[in-house]
Structure 1
């Protein structure tokens, strides 16, 4: 599932996976590595997410004694929770159609 705002995919499976990886790893660079994604790509996706939202999904601290890091905001956590709930409900509601579609795929 993808949610668009104007011409931008605001939230989709890759962006939700990135938010989950940032939550799990505590930094954009570690999240990117865990997803076999370049830091630049992760940064661009994160900028798109934050620009699409009323409040940022991720807050980052730069450098310093603890070498910075990134954390999800409550809105970022809500995006993950809501997206996964919608995904689960859609899969359950469409299980017959998904099964028929899978039979057409190699």
Structure 2
């Protein structure tokens, strides 16, 4: 029996290394924004977060992994920039693959939970 696609979404937060560091959808979106815009501040703005918050998340992610995920260059207005490193692109790709695989493998359970929640009756 085919399971209809779920109306709910699965959010994966990977807690890493027992230190309380985690990788989740927001950090992945920030990495994706940096890759798209070439800027930490622009990526943060797209997500409605301050430059300070975006920079803090980038610093946290860079410290989480053996190699940094984002390389930033300073330079002031119009001269600075940021890009994902090879490690950053790989981490982002792996995380996105986890999201797709997780949602696909749990589609039946998600659909059943939706039915139990009777979400069609909610306003």
Under a length normalisation based on structure 1, what TM-score does the superposition of the two structures give?
0.90
The aligned counterpart of 1:91 is 103
The alignment status of 1:3 with 2:14, answered yes or no, reads: yes
Selected match of 1:48 from 57, 60, 64: 60
The aligned counterpart of 2:31 is 19
Under a length normalisation based on structure 2, what TM-score does the superposition of the two structures give?
0.79
Segments of 5+ residues of structure 2 without an aligned counterpart are 1-11
Q: Which has the higher contact order (CA 8 A, sep 6+)?
A: 2
RMSD of aligned residue pairs (Cα, Å): 1.7
SS of 2:72's equivalent? strand
Higher helix residue share: 1
Matched length:
106
